[in-house]
Amino acid sequence: MPIRPDLPHPEFGEPVSAAQESEETLRLLARRRSTPVAVISEPGPARADLEAIIRLAARAPDHRKLGPWRFVVFEGGARQQLGHIFADARQAHEAHTEADLAEARALPLRSPAIVMVISAPVDDPKQTPVWEQELSAGAVCQNLLIAAAASGWAANWITEWPAFDPGVATRLGLSASERIAGFIYLGTAATEPVERQRPDLSERLLFWGD
């Protein structure tokens, strides 16, 4: 049963669109901004909303259809559990203070829901490079930001130290080849973000041959 029956859920082999003009999508992309996590507050998406957003995010390009990523959602009390995992991992570091542990515990409480995107490269006999598989996880994260924004939710893709901490990875059940691509914090913007500085495209765009 589709989670959002009003959205298309194409079956395998069903004709879909190569292109579909959408002024609204262009406008969303032109104005979408991450919301600083400090101002992401309640309410957060309901579970069905989250599932719909994740389903859309997972429609990311993925060489050889390996699906080299997975998701873990933390909402409600699970955020406290994640905070304890962060603090336990932080405690295992030689140098830590009580303040460090309290800060670690509080990290996941900053927004009502967090989607952890895990890059899970497959040991592909046909040799899809791990780099390509990791890029696909990044595409999933960006799709998630867009689907969240289009669903009316503020979002921010954050890594911070827990995404790189081996103790966090072990405690969250990641395998040796898996990595945390990001924690996508989701909720409602207490204040609207403002536009940030954007990289100067003129230094980054070349039309070959011009």
Ligand X SMILES: Cc1cc2nc3c(=O)[nH]c(=O)nc-3n(C[C@H](O)[C@H](O)[C@H](O)COP(=O)(O)O)c2cc1C
Give residues in contact with ligand X (CB under 6 A): 33-34, 156-160, 182, 196
- Judged by beta carbon, residue 158 or residue 186, the one nearer ligand X is 158
- Judged by beta carbon, residue 36 or residue 167, the one nearer ligand X is 36
- Judged by beta carbon, residue 50 or residue 183, the one nearer ligand X is 183
Q: How long is the chain?
A: 210
Closest approach, Cβ 197 to ligand X, in A, equals 10
Return phi, psi of residue 48, to 5°. Answer: -65, -35
Closest approach, Cβ 51 to ligand X, in A, equals 23
Closest approach, Cβ 195 to ligand X, in A, equals 8
Tokens of 114: 């967090």
Percent composition of the chain: helix, strand, coil (DSSP 3-state, to 5)? 40, 15, 45
- Judged by beta carbon, residue 143 or residue 156, the one nearer ligand X is 156
d(CA 29, CA 35): 14
d(CA 46, CA 176): 32
In this structure, are residues 6 and 55 in contact, taking their beta carbons and an 8 Å threshold?
no
Closest approach, Cβ 160 to ligand X, in A, equals 4
